[in-house]
Amino acid sequence: AQSVSQHNHHVILSEAASLELGCNYSYGGTVNLFWYVQYPGQHLQLLLKYFSGDPLVKGIKGFEAEFIKSKFSFNLRKPSVQWSDTAEYFCAVTRINDYKLSFGAGTTVTVRA
Amino acid sequence: EPEVTQTPSHQVTQMGQEVILRCVPISNHLYFYWYRQILGQKVEFLVSFYNNEISEKSEIFDDQFSVERPDGSNFTLKIRSTKLEDSAMYFCASSARPDNEQFFGPGTRLTVL
């Protein structure tokens, strides 16, 4: 079945550590890719998105993600996390002419001060 | 900054009862969505709505579900006869165009007893 996979269910880090969250999708054809974040008690917010162009996209709060088409991947990175990055992170995909978001299972990131 | 709002934040109901979940999308958006997340599972697409009609619906969105835009601001999801398995967090989202970022509301937690 076509799907979005996030490799890690729960990641625990110390402040200033680097973060990388994996995301792979199995859809063929052209896709749009998103990372959403949900801070405790808050709603889903867009961190960054890729539609076309430079495969390295920069988002808010120092996050970036790289689209590697050959690997069907869109991994999220941040060089140095802060305690405030504690949240759940969701990778999501839409396809051309099919604009519903298909989400990964989410990764809970806990940053220890 | 404009945002999507949802009411109530938490709804508790008895099995078999009807519930209506309400959403106020961002005012200049034309595309509306409902998603849900059962505890411990992925965020799943339910339905998309444009120009006063359903654009797409998932297998989950059976005859027990309906959506409506009763006036110029509200977008509602009705579940006619709730089941235990309808317990979930329900998210409303809106976008200006179908290929644009979807903005999410804070969600309504529905608990069916």
For A49-96, the pLDDT digits (tens) are 999 999 999 999 999 999 999 999 999 999 999 999 999 999 999 988
Residue showing tokens 């903005």 = B103
Residue A47 CA neighbour count, 13 Å, CB half: 26
- For the stretch B83-96, pLDDT in tens is 999 999 999 999 99
CB < 8 Å to A108, chain B: none
Query: Which chain B residue shows the shortest CA-CA distance from A39?
Result: B106
CB B18 within 8 A of CB B80: yes
CATH 2.60.40.10 holds for A4-112: yes
The amino acid at residue A92 is A
Mutate to test the interface with A, among B32, B43, B61, B67 (most CBs of A within 10 A): B43
pLDDT value at B108 more than 80? yes
Q: B16-27 pLDDT, tens per residue?
A: 999 999 999 999
CA distances from A63 to A21, A86, A88, B101 (A): 11, 13, 14, 17
Domain boundaries, chain A: 4-112
All domains of chain B in start order, with CATH: 5-112 (2.60.40.10)
SS3 at position B106: coil
Residues 6+ apart with CB under 8 A from A31: A25, A93, A94, A95, A96
Residues of chain A contacting B95 with CB distance shorter than 8 Å: 99
Q: Do A44 and B91 touch (CB under 8 A)?
A: yes
Instruction: Report how far apart, in Å, the C-alpha atoms of A67 and of each of A3, A24, A54, B53 are.
Output: 16, 10, 9, 34
From CA A62, how far away is CA A48, in angstroms rounded? Answer: 10
Q: What is the 3 state secondary structure string of chain A?
A: CCCEEECCCEEEEECCCCEEECEEECCCCCEEEEEEEECCCCCCEEEEEECCCCCEEECHHHCEEEEEHHHCEEEEEECCCCHHHCEEEEEEEEECCEEEEEECCCEEEEEEC
Size of interface A-B (CB pairs under 8 A): 48
| Percent residues over pLDDT 70 in chain A | 98
The pLDDT-based confidence of B70 (bands split at 50, 70, 90) is confident
Query: pLDDT tens digits for A8-31?
Result: 899 999 999 999 999 999 988 889
Q: Does B59 touch chain A (CB under 8 A)?
A: no
A44 has a chain B CB within 8 A of its CB? yes
Chain A nearest CA to B79, separation (Å): 21
Report the C-alpha gap between B41 and B52 in whole angstroms: 30
User: Looking at the complex, does the CB of residue B91 fall below 8 Å from at least one CB of chain A?
Assistant: yes
Interface of A with B in 64-103 (CB under 8 A): 90, 92, 94, 98-103
Interface contact B91-A43, CB threshold 8 A: yes
